[in-house]
Amino acid sequence: MTDFLKRILIAGALGFCISLIILGGVARAEESPRIDHTLYWVFPADGTITDSFGTRGGHHKGIDIAGEEGSPIYSVDHGTVLKSYYSSTYGHVVFVKHENGFETVYAHLGKRLVNEGESIDKAQVVGVMGNTGRSTGTHLHFEIHQGKWNLTKELAIDPYLVFGNGEVGQSVFAKVHDPYQVVEVSKDIINEPGVVQHVIKNGETLWSISQAYKVTVNEIKHLNGLHSTTIVTGNSLKIPANQQR
Ligand SMILES: [Zn+2]
């Protein structure tokens, strides 16, 4: 008889635990903004991906897109401008809060074109690409937060989760949900005036490449929106064409 009672108690306890787990899961899912709300977002900039999420020892909480100085930066969706100000690290920066609770951040802008509190449309220009704040080279630093931005950026998610997996060196296109549409990209890059493409070979460094082309390391870093001197074999680098050669 005691055995029977024990079994009932154990079964009851197990059932209670399972229901707690299920209820807990449901409650969490309701609290956090839903990623499927991002299905219709559009990519914020034209250019080339120069750094991904989670690099620099996990401290890089966004992606970097290097493009033309002054090119338009678009809001991924409609929303409200939470902040539009100059930060010593982010430079000219715009924070947008979206209907689903997500927040997006557009940093290092050359100019901001929206004000705090303003309601903005999807694909509205929030500013132009620049090189302000802690930045070495013209690029957009773009972050997505699944909830409120905070200093530790613990709610930041990988933008590749929203826009699909990309990689460093890949061309990207603004105002579309799939930013990686390949349309004669390589031809455009090669024809860019004043720029030569160099595919990085094993053992090469920024220094050795700069020597080979008679340009400076900083010129190469600037043109490619690089934050460090780390380069990856097989990726292609833009090299400023040296006038004397
Ligand atoms: Zn960045």
Does 80 lie in the same domain as 120? yes
Q: Could you read off the pLDDT tens digit of each residue along the chain, which spans 245 residues?
A: 567 667 766 666 665 555 555 554 444 444 455 677 898 999 999 999 999 999 999 999 999 999 999 999 999 999 999 999 999 999 999 999 998 899 999 999 999 999 999 999 999 999 999 999 999 999 999 999 999 999 999 999 999 999 999 999 999 999 999 999 865 444 444 456 678 888 888 888 999 999 888 899 998 998 888 888 888 888 888 888 765 44
Check whether residue 83 and residue 160 sit in a common domain: yes
Ligand 1 mean position to 201 CA, how many Å? 25
- The type of residue at 14 is L
Residue 92 shares a structural domain with residue 150: yes
Number of folded domains in the chain?
Answer: 2
DSSP string, 91-124: EEEEEEEETTS-EEEEEEESEE---TT-EE-TT-
Cα(188) to centroid(ligand 1), Å = 25
Give me ligand 1 centre to Cα 229, in Å. Answer: 15
CATH number of the domain that 238 lies in?
3.10.350.10
Do 97 and 146 reside in the same domain of the chain? yes
Tell me what pLDDT residue 12 has: 62
- Does residue 53 sit in the same domain as residue 157? yes
Residue 2 lies in a domain: no
Q: What's the Cα-to-Cα distance from 38 to each of 35, 200, 214, 219, rounded to whole Å?
A: 6, 35, 45, 37
Identify which of 130, 112, 114 has the alpha carbon closest to the alpha carbon of residue 64: 130
Rounded to two decimals, what is the model's pTM? 0.63
Contact indicator for 100, 80 with CB cutoff of 8 Å: no
> Ligand 1 centroid to 190 CA: how many Å?
25
- What per-residue confidence (pLDDT) applies to 30? 44
Span from the CA of 100 to the centroid of ligand 1 (angstroms): 24
- Measured in Å, residue 60 CA sits from the centre of ligand 1 at 6
**pLDDT for the residue 10:** 66
Counting Cβ atoms within 10 Å, is residue 181 exposed (0-12), middle (13-18) or buried (19+)? exposed
What local confidence, expressed as pLDDT, does residue 4 receive?
Answer: 65
Range of the domain at 52: 37-172
Residues 163 and 230 in one domain: no
Distance (angstroms) between ligand 1 centre and the Cα of 66 equals 10
Distance CA 114, CA 177 (A): 22
Read off φ and ψ for residue 16, nearest 5 degrees: -60, -45
Q: How far is the CA of 112 from the centre of ligand 1 (A)?
A: 18
The answer to whether residue 29 sits within a structural domain is no
What is the per-residue pLDDT for 18? 55
Backbone φ and ψ for 21, nearest 5 degrees, come out as -60, -45
User: Do residue 221 and residue 145 come from a single domain?
Assistant: no
Residue 86's DSSP bridge partners are 92
Shared domain for 164 and 211, answered yes or no, is no
Domain CATH number, residue 130: 2.70.70.10
